């Protein structure tokens, strides 16, 4: 008998590739300098894109990490109904914290990036030539930053799912009959 996925888990599964696509496009746009090309055709849109593409990249990376963490964390609930509830509670929590969390994950992802990447850039420039090597280096730096931001978002998503698992399984919050514990002494 095939298990049927709940609607909330299907939503999470659908949002994961969407955030990955948005993040990849904004990563490539940011690292390749696409707004400068867009400004020739549409200066207002090019300026807007230049101002906000980095936020698209860090927001999509954080959302990708959160959604993957929620998807993994929902698997810790042992039945389909609880798994669905864990996903719903986690998604509600993710919507509430995505804006401040994206800035926090991006700030933490910037830590540790120092001059140790200079040999990689030098090797790329030597191998590919100056222009192509610098471009590949920019894409690599932005890609690593994207993955680090998504990784910190993943930890937050797992934490949200863990809290939701505790709330759903620990409190007995489900659609079945309410908890019928022991009666008070003297009660009939």
Q: Is 146 a residue whose pLDDT tops 60?
A: yes
Out of 112-121, 124-133, 138-147, give the one with best mean pLDDT.
138-147
Q: How far is Cα 66 from Cα 91, in angstroms, rounded to an integer?
A: 9
* Residue partners of 29: CB distance under 8 A and separation at least 6: 35, 49, 53
pLDDT in tens, 154-178: 999 999 999 998 888 776 555 555 5
- Mean of the pLDDT values across residues 75-99? 87
- Mean of the pLDDT values across residues 63-67? 95
pLDDT at position 1: 43
Structure tokens at 39: 């400004």
Q: Burial of 105 by CB count in 10 Å (0-12 exposed, 13-18 middle, 19+ buried)?
A: buried
pLDDT at position 62: 95
Q: How confident is the model at residue 40 (pLDDT cuts 50, 70, 90)?
A: confident
Q: How far is Cα 86 from Cα 98, in angstroms, rounded to an integer?
A: 17
């Amino acid at each position: 008998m095939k298990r049927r996925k709940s609607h909330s888990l299907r939503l999470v599964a659908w949002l994961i590739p969407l955030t990955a696509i948005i993040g990849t496009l904004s990563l490539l746009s940011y690292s390749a300098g696409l707004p400068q090309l867009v400004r020739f055709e549409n200066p207002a849109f090019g300026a807007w894109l230049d101002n906000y593409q980095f936020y698209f990249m860090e927001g999509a990376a954080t959302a990708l990490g959160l959604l993957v963490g929620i998807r993994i964390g929902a698997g810790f609930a042992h039945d389909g109904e609880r798994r669905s509830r864990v996903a719903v509670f986690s998604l509600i929590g993710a919507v509430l914290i995505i804006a401040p969390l994206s800035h926090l994950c991006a700030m933490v992802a910037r830590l540790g990036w120092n001059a140790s990447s200079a040999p990689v850039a030098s090797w790329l420039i030597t191998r590919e030539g100056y222009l192509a090597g610098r471009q590949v280096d920019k894409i690599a730096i932005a890609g690593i930053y994207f993955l680090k931001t998504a990784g910190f978002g993943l930890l937050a998503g797992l934490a949200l799912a863990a809290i939701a698992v505790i709330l759903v399984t620990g409190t007995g919050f489900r659609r079945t009959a309410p908890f019928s514990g022991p009666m008070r002494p003297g009660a009939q």
